[in-house]
Amino acid sequence: MNYGRQFLFPAALLAASGVAAGALGAHASWLADPMRAIWETAVRYQMWHALGLGLIACLEQSPWTQWSGYLMLLGTVLFSGSLYLLALSGLSGLGKITPLGGSLLILSWLLLAWHGWRRTYA
């Protein structure tokens, strides 16, 4: 059994909600232009990382892919979630959460790269 399949469900939910958020942002006349740009960034990162999480679900599992999946899921929620909340509320303090989410996303990709390197060269 491929235990990485546990990431397929959240990956699909992230993708579906990313499409919905993108559509909402495209039709949200109440969203001011600077906030619309923040919203679009949140959607873009959510969609890319939904695909990344789906990739992880399909890979041979290792501790590296497991951690990568968990960090990618958490990083996406923190990064995109804080940007969505910032765009909706205008509360600039939420922007302090965004770099934490981004750091987790970077770390998740580095762990995935490490997994790939170990499978190929180690």
Residues 6+ apart with CB under 8 A from 33: none
The answer, yes or no, to whether residue 1 has pLDDT greater than 60, is no
Residue span of the structural domain in which 88 resides: 3-121
Inter-axis angle of helices 8-27 and 63-89, nearest 10: 20
**What are the pLDDT digits (tens) for 47-96?**
999 999 999 999 988 999 999 999 999 999 999 999 999 999 999 998 89
Contact 44, 21 (CB under 8 A): no
Structural domain count, the chain:
1
**Spatial CA neighbour of 23 closest among 39, 4, 8:** 39
